[in-house]
Amino acid sequence: MQAMLQVLTRFRPKDTLLHQLTGFVEQKLSDAKFTNTKTIITHTKEQCHVLALGYFDLLHPGHLNYLDFAKAQGNYLTVGVAPDAFALKSKGHTPMMKQEERLRVIQALQIVDQSVLVAAPMADTANAAHWIAQQGVNIVVCGAEWQNTPRWDALEAALSPKGIKVIFAPHTQGISSTQIKQRLLSHQHNS
C-alpha cells in the first residue's frame, strides 16, 4: 500500500488528500512496529467497530468522502447523527433537515451499518465519552477541522483509557452544507 501511494504521489504531487493519506499510512505502519502482537490482533480491520459523527445536513460529496474514510478504518460503521437541539445550542439554528430525516438518509447509505442519534454533545466530555463507549466502538472518526481543538483533545484523553482511538478524516475542499445553503439563497434571489 505504501509503495502504491508513493507512485500515485509522483503522478499527482500537489494532491493534498493523497499526501494526507500517505502520512496516515506511514503513521499506522510506524505505530504497528511499536505495538505488541496481541494489540494488533485485537484491532484488526475485521474486528473493528467505527463511529463517525456529524450533523449530515444536506448530504453532499464531502459527507460521503468522510463516511468512506470512516468505513475504511474497520468493518462495521455506526454513524452518530447530532440532534437538532445540539445545533440550536452550538450554532444558533437548527439544520435544514430535521434529525429524523438526516438519520433516515444516513441509514439508507450502503456503507452505513447503523445510525443513531448522538446522546451527548462532544463538548460535554464525560457524558460524550460515556455514550461513545456504550456504542462498543474501537475507533471514532472526526473531521480534520476538529484536530487539536480543546474539545477533541479532551475527548481523546477521555477515550484513550477506554481503548478507543480517535482518527481525523481528511477534509474535502470546496463543498459544505453552508456553501450549499448559500448557493440556494443566491439562486432564489437570482430567480
Q: What is the pLDDT of residue 40?
A: 32
Q: How far apart are CA 108 and CA 188, in angstroms?
A: 29
Higher pLDDT, 5 or 33: 5
Residues 77 and 159 in one domain: yes
Same domain, 30 and 89: no
Q: Is residue 120 part of a domain?
A: yes
For the four alpha carbons of 6, 70, 142 and 45, in that order, the dihedral sign comes to negative
- Mean residue pLDDT across the chain: 80
Long-range Cβ contact pairs of 68-71 (< 8 A, separation 24 or more): 68/111, 69/141, 69/169, 69/170, 70/141, 70/169, 71/111, 71/112
Please tell me the least confidently modeled range out of 60-69, 76-85, 157-166: 60-69
Does any domain span residue 171? yes
- Is the pTM higher than 0.85? no
Q: Looking at residue 46, what is its pLDDT? A: 57
Mean pLDDT within 114-119:
97
Domain boundaries, position 179: 47-190
pLDDT of residue 166: 97
pLDDT number for residue 35:
36
Pairing between strand 114-117 and 139-143? Answer: unpaired
Select the more confidently predicted residue: 165 or 29: 165
Q: Is the pLDDT of residue 95 over 50?
A: yes
Examine residue 42 and state whether it is found in any structural domain, yes or no: no
Residue 79 sits in the same domain as residue 165: yes
Average pLDDT over residues 55-84: 92
Other CB atoms closer than 10 Å to residue 137's CB: what's the count? 24
In a domain, 40, yes or no: no
Number of structural domains the chain divides into: 2
Higher pLDDT, 111 or 34: 111
Share of residues in the chain with pLDDT > 90 (%): 54
Segment 122-180, tens digit of pLDDT: 999 999 999 999 999 999 999 999 999 999 999 999 999 999 999 999 988 666 556 55
In total, the chain counts a number of residues equal to: 191
> Are 58 and 142 found together in one domain?
yes
What local confidence, expressed as pLDDT, does residue 143 receive? Answer: 93
16 has pLDDT over 80: no
The verdict on 110 and 185 lying in the same domain is yes
Average pLDDT over residues 8-33: 59
pLDDT for 157 equals 97
- As beta bridge partners, residue 116 has 80
Kindly give the residue spans of alpha helices, DSSP state H, lying in the chain: 2-11, 16-33, 37-42, 61-72, 84-91, 99-108, 125-134, 150-159, 177-190
CATH number for 54: 3.40.50.620
Residue 1 has pLDDT above 80, yes or no: no
